[in-house]
Structure 1
Amino acid sequence: MTPTLPTIGHLIGGQTVPGGSRSADVFNPATGAAEKRVQLADKLTVEAAIANAQAAYPAWRATPPLKRARVMSNLKVLLEQHADELCALVTAEHGKVLADSLGELQRGIENVEYASYATELLKGEHSKNVGPNIDSWSEFQALGVTAGITPFNFPVMVPLWMWPMAVVCGNTFILKPSERDPSSALRVAELALQAGLPPGVLNVVNGDKEAVDTLLTDPRVKAISFVGSTPIAEYIYSTGCSHGKRVQALGGAKNHAVVMPDADIPNAVSALMGAAYGSCGERCMAIPLVVAVGDATADAVVAGLKTEIAKMKVGPGTQASCDMGPLVTKAHFEKVVGYVDQGVKEGATLVVDGRGIQIAGFEGGYYLGPCLFDNVKPGMVTYQEEIFGPVLGVVRVKTLQEAMDMIDAHEYGNGTCIFTRDGEAARYFSDNILVGMVGVNVPLPVPVAYHSFGGWKRSLFGDLHGYGPDAVRFYTKRKTITQRWPSAGVREGAVFSFPSSR
């Protein structure tokens, strides 16, 4: 008899509730076994979450920013206290190694900490005597019910990019996390209630396209944030905008790392190893392409990578000795293996083949060892498309300008980096490359919480980047008030010219 799996529901109005007639298995990627079932919210369930968020909004909007900020301060402490629990949930459902889960959580906590500065972030601007006895000021007001749709690869961090800033600005929020690894986002929401967040301010609905489309079309939802693939980001953006919503949709990436002839090759190789194979390559800021300037540079990089890859240990994320865990699902594993097969067919040189790896005791897991291609060329599928797996390709060029032209021609513009000792080259690259986030000898230039995250071109749909200062602008609307108190008893004549301070 098949044992009954634990069921994951939704968090609506401060209560864990069931909802939806459909459900999906939640797998442990390390073993390939289904360990939980998650209920998939139907339209009525999502509408119930929206109704709870709308009911909670007036009182929460009227709550002083200092009190809202204190909830974030309390949450920061609780997240730190429950770090081991949260990291275990992430690793069990995503597969990344525990150290990587902790790094993700710490980056999320930084965003909660930034949200706790709400009293400073929400201060308006004031000008006295803009005209005779006239004062003017602007302030940032909440939007209402907002929502976020987050991906599987950062189940704790990306939700913390969104809802803490949204709610500290006075909004209420509905989170739709990935149904592949939903437990950690739900647990964080429970901790937020414990931190003092009133019921209904944050609601979590698990689901798929039916839940997403309900959020996109319901007029009570005023703004939507999304992180995921570019095709879905484009759909989210166009559909949300057509229904009058403010939308911020972060899409895919194909990040290039340029290695110059003068670079510190051993250090560059070490940096590339983590950037390419950390989290099994399932990061939108991962480095899947190295653009080596000169054949001598390429030869040295390939040799160094080959040596370092041989030292890597692949296995379950719960084993501290492992550098890389499994891919998130069987379907994604098969997709990434297909990209490796395609690269071989297209003529790239497969220097290290990670296909066919077997982990003793975990034969059902979704393991793909690190793969390394040389002689990758623009136009190849493995060059053009986002693989989202542990596959690194080396492209050979002759000059920095050739490398930059190649990067600028790509449809994505999320992140890039350059390894060099030449300040002039680094400055030219940083100033002129058509990419939103740039690293100089930094392979993963993910901005800290008090800056904002976002790419260019088809890596971002919308005008405002994620978290940081842009999040304050995204989750608020500016109101400008101009005020005049005329002197008592003074009769003023009508003025028909356009008002000015002259």
Structure 2
Amino acid sequence: MTRVLENYIGGAWSRSSGTTLLDVKNPATGEVLAQVPLSTAGDVDTAVKAARAAFPAWRATPPAVRARYLFKLREVLDAHREEIAAICTSEHGKTLSESRNDFGRGIENVEHAAGIPTLMMGQNLEDVATAIDCQTIRQPLGVFAAITPFNFPPMVPLWFLPYAIATGNTFVLKPSEQVPLTQRRIFELIQSIGLPPGVLNLVNGGKDVVNGLCTHPDVAGVSFVGSSSVALHVYRTAAEHGKRVQALGGAKNFIVVLPDANRERAIANVAESIYGCSGQRCLAGSMIVGVGEAYEWVREALHEAARAIVLGDGSKPGVTMGPVVSAAAKDRILSCIEQGTREGARLTLDGRGATVEGCPNGNWIGPSIFEDVQPGMSVATEEIFGPVACLMRAQSLDEAIAAANRSRYGNAASVYTTSGKAARQFHNQIEAGMVGVNIGVAAPMAFFPFGGQKASFYGDTKAHGPTAIDFYTERKVVITRWF
């Protein structure tokens, strides 16, 4: 009998009141791994009430004590790295190596948040006027929620969860209904560390849960990662209901390669940026701009690197790229490729007919490359979120930067060069929130902020790093005079 997943509310597992169940499938084999319920607004209300009830005592728990729970969490997560990586690969499709890295970056955020006694400190100044002192203190706000995507099942929830509870708030997570198994296991591990009931809660579901969290009067703030259209919806809806919001959206990331770049290292990085995790990540390179004479060698070397990729079940040794997450994702990516060919881009490497021996039901798309991509084409402007590279020519760095800045997105951008002058111009002028210099995936470490610009981010305070502490706390100013 297929297992039906439960919600985690008030320190215990409970059945959802929702009657609709979705299959959770292995994208490489088509095997049904479990069923996930689409919970209701009533389930959301139950979880938020549990979190609200737990808040006063958790807020009063000293930060050093809260940090000790994170130390425990870090240790239990670290002890189960291989298990979590295997679950991630089974439900997402990425390779085991990619799943390990995914989870490792999540654990890094737990480590960083464990420094909360220092991170949450305020400021003070004596004698701002005669015999008057002034200080700022940070205080938690209440119940926070996060709505997370399919592409990094272990990592993205850990961008938010550790900081929310470290700062003294309580928390409700809605994981992606496409990949709920990783968080199910992580919450089982969380249950083992002895957190007070209601501090952490999990509600499975779809849009009803999203809207329930965005409108619930007892939710103080909402974090979201996903497409820009949904990010904008979450931002508007939650903000209209008086909540703090950080909504991380989609991307169309440009990688600019100059003629003086280190060829071997540049191409290895660029190929990994495009095709890692089958292109299903918001930091994936998707527009590759060869400047001047660099275009030809980038073109040739990228084709060679793409043809060397081994497509298959990510759990098997030797595989370097897995399937896309679902049949629906495959159909959408194929539609994007068809649209690109209709608009005149040349598909010089076609992954549409890819198959994998022994896995006839997998969601396979091989590495693909478009050439002669022009500004205005859909493949140059719209997020494909799959293993598809788009090559564009530019005659100068100025032209390349201008092409990138025309995009409505501004998540990440990278440049490959040995010129400090060119690198400085690029990171000074490019309109992107995260910039790589000879780095193909410009992913900041946990102690730096994560987030884009323009249609890639809606809100004021970005994820993790010091901005997480700002998001989850209110600064209060106290002015004191004693007679």
Give the Cα separation in 1 of the matches to 2:316 and 2:480: 64
Amino acid at match of 1:97: T
Match of 1:222 in 2: 220
1:38-77 equivalence runs, <5 A: 38-77=36-75
Contact 1:452 1:470 in 2 (8 A): yes
1:479-498 equivalence runs, <5 A: 479-486=476-483
Give the Cα separation in 2 of the matches to 1:126 and 1:55: 32
Match of 1:435 in 2: 432
Give the Cα separation in 2 of the matches to 1:267 and 1:478: 45
Match of 1:88 in 2: 86
Give the Cα separation in 2 of the matches to 1:118 and 1:280: 36
Contact 2:274 2:387 in 1 (8 A): yes
More divergent stretch after superposition (99-108 vs 193-202): 193-202
Task: Establish whether residue 367 from structure 1 lines up as the match of residue 364 from structure 2.
Answer: yes
Give the Cα separation in 2 of the matches to 1:394 and 1:220: 48
Task: Establish whether residue 465 from structure 1 lines up as the match of residue 482 from structure 2.
Answer: no
Shift of the alpha carbon at 1:195? Answer: 2.2
Shift of the alpha carbon at 1:42? Answer: 0.7
Give the Cα separation in 1 of the matches to 2:140 and 2:356: 51
Match of 2:389 in 1: 392
More divergent stretch after superposition (448-457 vs 264-273): 264-273
Amino acid at match of 1:123: M
1:197-346 equivalence runs, <5 A: 197-294=195-292, 296-346=293-343
Shift of the alpha carbon at 1:196? Answer: 3.0
Match of 1:351 in 2: 348
Give the Cα separation in 1 of the matches to 2:372 and 2:294: 13
Amino acid at match of 2:393: R
- DSSP-derived class of the 1:114 partner: helix
Structure 1 length normalisation: TM-score? 0.95
Shift of the alpha carbon at 1:9? Answer: 1.1
Match of 1:403 in 2: 400
Please, which runs of 5 or more residues in structure 1 have no aligned partner? Answer: 487-502
Shift of the alpha carbon at 1:115? Answer: 0.4
Q: Deviations over 1:343-400 (max 9, x none)?
A: 1221111111111111111000001000011111111111110000000010011111
- DSSP-derived class of the 2:276 partner: helix
Match of 2:149 in 1: 151
Q: Deviations over 1:271-310 (max 9, x none)?
A: 011100000000000001101111x311111110111122
Contact 2:324 2:365 in 1 (8 A): yes
Number of corresponding residues: 482
Give the Cα separation in 2 of the matches to 1:56 and 1:23: 30
Contact 2:95 2:314 in 1 (8 A): yes
Give the Cα separation in 1 of the matches to 2:455 and 2:67: 34
Task: Give me the CA root mean square deviation.
Answer: 0.9
Match of 2:132 in 1: 134
Give the Cα separation in 2 of the matches to 1:275 and 1:387: 14
* Identity over aligned pairs, percent: 44
Give the Cα separation in 2 of the matches to 1:213 and 1:342: 32
Contact 2:58 2:169 in 1 (8 A): yes
Match of 1:499 in 2: none
Runs of 4 or more off by more than 4 Å in structure 1? Answer: none
Give the Cα separation in 1 of the matches to 2:394 and 2:134: 57
More divergent stretch after superposition (380-389 vs 301-310): 301-310
More divergent stretch after superposition (376-385 vs 194-203): 194-203
Match of 2:183 in 1: 185
The higher radius of gyration belongs to 1
- DSSP-derived class of the 1:7 partner: coil
Task: Establish whether residue 381 from structure 1 lines up as the match of residue 378 from structure 2.
Answer: yes
- DSSP-derived class of the 1:354 partner: coil
Shift of the alpha carbon at 1:35? Answer: 2.1
Shift of the alpha carbon at 1:200? Answer: 0.6
User: Which of 194, 197, 201 does residue 196 from structure 1 map onto?
Assistant: 194
Give the Cα separation in 2 of the matches to 1:33 and 1:75: 31
Give the Cα separation in 2 of the matches to 1:475 and 1:187: 25
Give the Cα separation in 2 of the matches to 1:128 and 1:190: 48
Contact 1:61 1:170 in 2 (8 A): yes
- DSSP-derived class of the 2:182 partner: helix
- DSSP-derived class of the 2:320 partner: coil
Amino acid at match of 1:190: E
Contact 2:170 2:199 in 1 (8 A): yes
Contact 2:157 2:173 in 1 (8 A): yes
Give the Cα separation in 2 of the matches to 1:135 and 1:343: 64
